[in-house]
Amino acid sequence: MPLVTLDAIIHLIGTTLARYLPMVILLAPFAYLAFRWVKRRRDEIARHAKAGTIGPAFVVEGATMPLHFDLLARVGTSGGAEQALQEKVLRPSVGVRLLILVISALVLGQFFLPRFAQGMDEALAELPVSPLVVQGLVLLAVANGVIYIFSCEARYDISVLIVSRMLVFRREFLWKNLERIGDDGRYELVLIFRPGGKAKVLRYSQGIRDFKDYALKRLQENKVTDARTARS
């Protein structure tokens, strides 16, 4: 078995550097900018968390909703929440329900009505799977979106927040454990509770303004309580 000589090692190192060093030099500024952006984002989240205000929900977030969709979804959000005994109930606004129905109709039209979208039949035929499979998946995705929006509900009183999704998912959170409030910039307010609970409330809900004010009030109260506990 031949021995690896020092010259061979030096040659290997030199070849590797010659191949990858230009790429590293090219990408280094972008990596640095990305690092700085993530650090600023984390600092912003931490600043809002410390102040008890609403900040970004996550370090990295998706694209915001287009302005025309946002304006439509906001229709009906300015009213008060429904009252049920001692609870207030947040349900999707008229605007966001209409928006999801319009988008669903457009998507279904593209895939199920040949005259609605010229060339779609040919495009589906070129796929490696049956067009019926694609249409079935599209139908499931549309149904999931409609059910998700129409089933969103958040109930709250002076003690708890109860969030429901997809007709079967339901979680309860104690206001006294609220630690941070974030806004994902798209669809939801994200409320972080100790020790690790996360409640997502649809931004386009009737009564959302009163809810945000109440949540911020409870968050500020928790900050005061935490400060007193830390001093004692």
Alpha-carbon span 45 to 180, nearest angstrom: 9
Is the domain of 34 the same as that of 78?
Answer: no
Helix (H) or strand (E) holding 199: strand 197-202
Is the predicted pLDDT of residue 5 greater than 80, yes or no? no
Task: Say whether both 32 and 77 belong to one domain.
Answer: no
Specify the number of domains making up the chain.
2
- Higher pLDDT: 103 or 23? It is 103
C-alpha pair distances (Å), 125 with each of 78, 139, 229: 47, 18, 66
* Pair 120, 41 in one domain: no
Predicted confidence (pLDDT) per residue in 155-164, tens digit: 999 999 999 9
Q: Are residues 47 and 63 in the same domain?
A: no
| DSSP secondary structure letters along 80-97 | PPEEETTEEEE-B-HHHH
Domain that holds residue 165: 52-231
Same domain, 116 and 159: yes
Nearest to 88 by CA among 209, 223, 217: 209
Whether residues 86 and 179 share a domain: the answer is: yes
Residue 205 β-bridge partners: 92
Confirm if 202 and 184 have CB atoms less than 8 A apart. Answer: no
Strand order across the beta sheet in which 188-193 lies:
54-56, 178-183, 188-193, 197-202
Shared domain for 41 and 70, answered yes or no, is: no
How does residue 1 score in pLDDT terms, banded at 50, 70 and 90? very low
67 shares a domain with 45: no
Tens digit of pLDDT for each residue in 11-24? 677 787 777 778 87
* Residue 2 pLDDT grade (very low, low, confident, very high; cuts 50, 70, 90): low
Domain end marker among 9, 30, 51: 51
Half-sphere exposure of 152 (CA within 13 A, CB side): 26
Handedness of CA 204, 194, 55, 38 (dihedral sign): negative
- Confidence band, pLDDT 50/70/90 cuts, at residue 7: low
Q: What pLDDT is stored for residue 168 in this prediction?
A: 79
Q: 204 and 95 in contact (C-beta within 8 Å)?
A: yes
Helices first, then strands: H and E counts in the chain: 6, 9
Residue type, 82: E
Three-class SS state of 63: coil
Does one domain contain both 38 and 60? no
Give the tens place of pLDDT for each residue, 142-184. 999 999 999 999 999 999 999 998 877 899 999 999 999 998 8
Task: Indicate the residue among 11, 36, 51 that finishes a domain.
Answer: 51
And the tokens for 180?
A: 């941070």
Instruction: For residue 117, name the pLDDT band (cuts at 50, 70, 90).
Output: low
* Same domain membership, residue 89 and residue 10: no
Give the DSSP H or E segment for 159.
none
Asked whether residue 47 falls in the same domain as residue 110, the answer is: no
Let me know whether 114 and 24 are in one domain: no
* Mean pLDDT computed over 76-95: 88
Q: Which run of H or of E encompasses 80?
A: none
| C-alpha count within 13 angstroms, C-beta hemisphere, residue 17 | 6
